[in-house]
Amino acid sequence: MAPRPPPQPTDRDIPDNSRLLESMIEALQQQNATLVQQNTTALQSLEATRANSEATQRQLMEIISTTRNTTGLSSSISNHQTEWSLESFLQHHPTKFNGLTLKFEIN
């Protein structure tokens, strides 16, 4: 049994199809407007976040520069840098073996 061809559109189907296309176009335009608005809002939020980040960085740099120039700090705090020996480092940072090896470690 051969498949039947689809029915030919009638003249009254054309206005229905036109209305359907117009409603789809309207819905897509509304979606587009919503997406543009969301994009604009997101860009404004990102710009505000960037400005806040720059202001915070500026404040931190000012704090760092003022604390470097302050002579009232304890010399033990500002000049104290502990140098780790290998033994001390290994005691505080134990190795963890997960059973996996890299290709270059096999040989």
Write out pLDDT tens, residues 15-55: 888 999 999 999 999 999 999 999 999 999 999 999 999 99
Instruction: Indicate the helix (H) or strand (E) that contains 7.
Output: none
DSSP result, 27-60 = HHHHHHHHHHHHHHHHHHHHHHHHHHHHHHHHHH
pTM: 0.46
- Examine the pLDDT at 71 and tell me if it is beyond 60: no
- Examine the pLDDT at 10 and tell me if it is beyond 70: no
With cut-offs at 50, 70 and 90, classify the pLDDT of residue 69: confident
pLDDT of residue 56: 94
Buried b (16+ CB within 10 A) or exposed e, 3-25: eeeeeeeeeeeeeeeeeeeeeee
